[in-house]
Amino acid sequence: MKASDVQDELQKYASDHDALFLQRFFKTGEGQYGYGDVFIGVRVPQTRKVCNEFKDLPLIEIQKLLDSEIHEHRLAGLIIMTLQYPKADQSVQQDIYDLYLKNIYKGRINNWDLVDLSADKIMGAHLYDQPRDILFRLAKSEKLWERRVSILTTFGFIKRGDPSTTIEIAEVLLHDTEDLIQKAV
């Protein structure tokens, strides 16, 4: 299995009409939060269907998806990571977490849908029994998506009955001027 196989399969569902809609919906115009993001017009249900076929894709190939300029390729990479994480042993879970964090810092997880579908399932799952200092560093970042990851990660803790970090991160982000942060908080 290769990243190119996933990309080829996604292309079968591509729609120019949907691509135009998604570019507007995800604010890809100049000066907007998703500026420069490229869409091929694959809807999430079709993306999930493809991801289920490639749920065992090696992490090195997932990185190739995450490096793509095409939004749906990155989305597929993240969905596959969320499918792999809960079934993996601790060593592979650490590898998935490390890959996720690396791509946050690289700016590859760069829109609200990418953050929202993955942060709690990867970082939230991984950090539940571990120090959470990284979330406070992300919450203080100048980068919008790093701040959003910090608060959305805590949904994984809430689902397990622990809202404490959510409240602490919310206090850090309380006066953030970005609407995408306010909505998350």
| Residue 32, pLDDT score | 80
30/94: higher pLDDT: 94
Tell me which amino acid residue 4 is: S
Q: Residue 34 CB: number of other CB atoms within 10 A?
A: 19
Kindly state the average pLDDT of the residues 148-174: 96
Of 78, 80, 76, residue with least CA distance to 11: 76
Is the pLDDT at 171 greater than 90? The verdict is yes
| Residue 31, pLDDT score | 86
pTM over 0.75: yes
Kindly state the average pLDDT of the residues 146-174: 96
Kindly state the average pLDDT of the residues 117-136: 96
Kindly state the average pLDDT of the residues 64-92: 97
Radius of gyration over alpha carbons of the chain, in Å?
16
Q: Residue 50 CB: number of other CB atoms within 10 A?
A: 22
Backbone angles phi and psi of 70, in degrees to 5 = -85, 125
Q: How confident is the model at residue 42 (pLDDT cuts 50, 70, 90)?
A: very high
Helix/strand/coil for 89: coil
Q: How confident is the model at residue 26 (pLDDT cuts 50, 70, 90)?
A: confident
